[in-house]
Structure 1
Amino acid sequence: MKISKEELETLQLHDATVELAVNLIKVNGYVIIEGVLPQEKVTELREAFKACMNWFIDKHGEEIYLNKKGFNEGTNHLGILLPFAPPFNDSLVIEHPFALAIIDRILGTDYAVTLFSSNTSLPGGKKAQPVHPDYGARFGDLCKISLPITDLVFNIPLVDVDDGNGPMEIWPGGTHLLPDHYYGPNGPNPDELASHMHSIKVHMPAGSILIRDVRMWHRGTPNRSNEIRPNLALIYSASHRDNSVQIPQETYDNLSERAKHLFRWQKIGYPVIEPTHE
């Protein structure tokens, strides 16, 4: 989706835009709004993320690159939990008005952030990830119907994403609408079915926002460029799931009331973490 200059300048989506975005998520499993964050904010986030990644590789590089075939089974995809500190906890990241307007319509207003992380495709990947949803069955083999959307992933790419630098590949239009038990270990194998189904490689300019149902099938693809392809990644959830985010009390006290509500399930009063592998 592209939005109007007025919406960008006011940071307020028209009601028709919100409705379209919500319906796209419900029907297709995802929506992209292109070029949302200001370029200077994207640059700030990208440079800060590169510093985090360099620190992480310096500390864990030997362990990560020990096998010449690459890490994470040769996909060279790396998830890193981010420190809850500037610029990553900027309001345009954790409570972007566009994202919240859309998520409010789907999850209500009592949801919370349950993941504060990133997903990076590093150069040198030799193969794609297996096709997968992010979460498994809520009720194991018991539930035979499709459940409402309860968890939404929010991604911000920090570089332009194209075929050459490891775009996410998605299987939209129904893979998020399967009966709950299909997402469990006894359901159909997404990797076996995916080659017979329609998929899209997600291209988007830096600073776009991608909101998707966690159940939609997807995978990371190899990064054939010489630069990392980083995404910021948050999950907004209607039910309590995880509390891995450590937030110093003073930082929490200085958040907006909405942001405090979004992070209320997290570890308030704890020191900021170092960048950590998920």
Structure 2
Amino acid sequence: MRVSAEELASGKLLPATIELAVQLIQVNGYVLIEEVLPRTQIDQLNNRIGDFLEGFMAKNEFSLEEGFHDGTNHIGMYLPFEQPFCDESLIAHPFVMDIVDQILGSDCELTYFASNTSMPKGTKSQDVHADMGARFGSRFGVNVPITNLVVNYPLVDVNDENGPMEVWPGGTHLHPDSWYSCKVVNKPELAPHMLSFKAHMPAGSIMIRDDRMWHRGTPNRSDKPRPNIALIYSSTSTAPYQGGLQIPQETYDQFSDRAKQLVRKQKIGAEVIKPY
């Protein structure tokens, strides 16, 4: 979906837009809002992550030609809680907050702060998976409410060539809780017989998805990395962990009240983590 020029200018979604986005997540598992962040900001983020990826590859002795992570050439990398990544336009974007608050409650928390990158020369897709396992064990046969929302910001234009995320929308997030246990259903075996598509996203778009929706990374056949920023917001009553984010005191002190609320249970006053 696209938002209007008036919504972009005001930084506020119309009630009808919020309602549509919320219902798309509830029914389909995700919503994609195209081209929200300015290209100048996206380019800055992409360049900075590019610097980190070089160091990450070198430290782990990864080779694009030889492949890594079972040939997927996929890198999940935690981000340091510093500029330009901790900008409030990312961690507390008003469009995201308008939607997330409606689903998780206005007391929700930011619990994950990282990046996912499909590197060139990958030869295999990831296994089909959900980002969250069964919350109540393999014998609980009832669907449970959304407790975590993943927010992805693509930092380049995503197309068929550079490793788009493949998603299985329209119901994979609505199975009984037990289905998210790895012992109950073989997702890689079942998924090829189900409807899926590869998510094309212009740089600066925002994807918000139920963390239970089935998906996978696909091979990047271009010659450049395909990075995105990945944040997770959690219902405060079911937040999966506390203190996973390390936030310097001076960074926290400069945040708005809303941003402070989002990270209130994290490690405030700790040193910034290193991405590699």
* Fold similarity call, TM over 0.5: yes
Residue of structure 2 in register with 1:226 after alignment: 223
User: In 1, are the aligned partners of 2:65 and 2:121 still within 8 Å (CA)?
Assistant: no
**1:4-15 equivalence runs, <5 A:** 4-15=4-15
Q: Does 1:75 align with 2:42?
A: no
User: Shift of residue 43 of structure 1?
Assistant: 1.2
Residue of structure 2 in register with 1:113 after alignment: 110
User: In 2, are the aligned partners of 1:121 and 1:230 still within 8 Å (CA)?
Assistant: yes
Q: Does 1:26 align with 2:26?
A: yes
**1:88-99 equivalence runs, <5 A:** 88-99=85-96
- The count of residues paired between Structure 1 and Structure 2 equals 273
TM-score normalised by length of structure 2: 0.96
* Letter of the 1:43 counterpart: D
User: Shift of residue 44 of structure 1?
Assistant: 1.2
User: Shift of residue 142 of structure 1?
Assistant: 3.4
Q: Does 1:201 align with 2:192?
A: no
Identify which range, 250-259 or 212-221, moves more after superposition.
250-259
**1:183-262 equivalence runs, <5 A:** 183-238=180-235, 239-242=238-241, 243-262=243-262
Residue of structure 1 in register with 2:266 after alignment: 266
* Letter of the 1:99 counterpart: V
1:120-175 superposed Cα distances (whole Å, 9 cap, x missing partner): 00001011000000010001123210000000000000000000000000000000
User: What RMSD over aligned residues (CA atoms) do the two structures have, in Å?
Assistant: 1.2
Q: Distance in 2 between matches of 1:21 and 1:168?
A: 20
Task: List alignment gaps of at least 5 residues for structure 1.
Answer: none
User: Shift of residue 28 of structure 1?
Assistant: 0.4
**1:38-53 equivalence runs, <5 A:** 38-53=38-53
* Letter of the 2:180 counterpart: Y
* Letter of the 1:127 counterpart: K
Helix, strand or coil: the match of 1:232?
strand
Q: Percent identity?
A: 56
Identify which range, 129-138 or 179-188, moves more after superposition.
179-188
Residue of structure 1 in register with 2:133 after alignment: 136
Helix, strand or coil: the match of 1:22?
helix
Runs of 4+ aligned structure 1 residues displaced above 6 Å come to none
Residue of structure 2 in register with 1:166 after alignment: 163
User: Shift of residue 70 of structure 1?
Assistant: 1.2
Q: Distance in 2 between matches of 1:174 and 1:274?
A: 37
User: Shift of residue 244 of structure 1?
Assistant: 2.3
User: In 2, are the aligned partners of 1:152 and 1:214 still within 8 Å (CA)?
Assistant: yes
Helix, strand or coil: the match of 1:204?
coil
Q: Distance in 2 between matches of 1:217 and 1:54?
A: 30
Helix, strand or coil: the match of 2:115?
strand
User: In 2, are the aligned partners of 1:18 and 1:101 still within 8 Å (CA)?
Assistant: yes
Q: Distance in 2 between matches of 1:100 and 1:52?
A: 28
Q: Distance in 1 between matches of 2:32 and 2:215?
A: 15
User: In 1, are the aligned partners of 2:153 and 2:228 still within 8 Å (CA)?
Assistant: yes
Q: Distance in 2 between matches of 1:42 and 1:148?
A: 33
User: Shift of residue 51 of structure 1?
Assistant: 1.5
User: Shift of residue 68 of structure 1?
Assistant: 5.7
User: In 2, are the aligned partners of 1:240 and 1:265 still within 8 Å (CA)?
Assistant: no
* Letter of the 2:122 counterpart: G
Q: Distance in 1 between matches of 2:139 and 2:190?
A: 22
* Letter of the 1:224 counterpart: R
Identify which range, 227-236 or 258-267, moves more after superposition.
258-267
Q: Distance in 2 between matches of 1:75 and 1:112?
A: 31
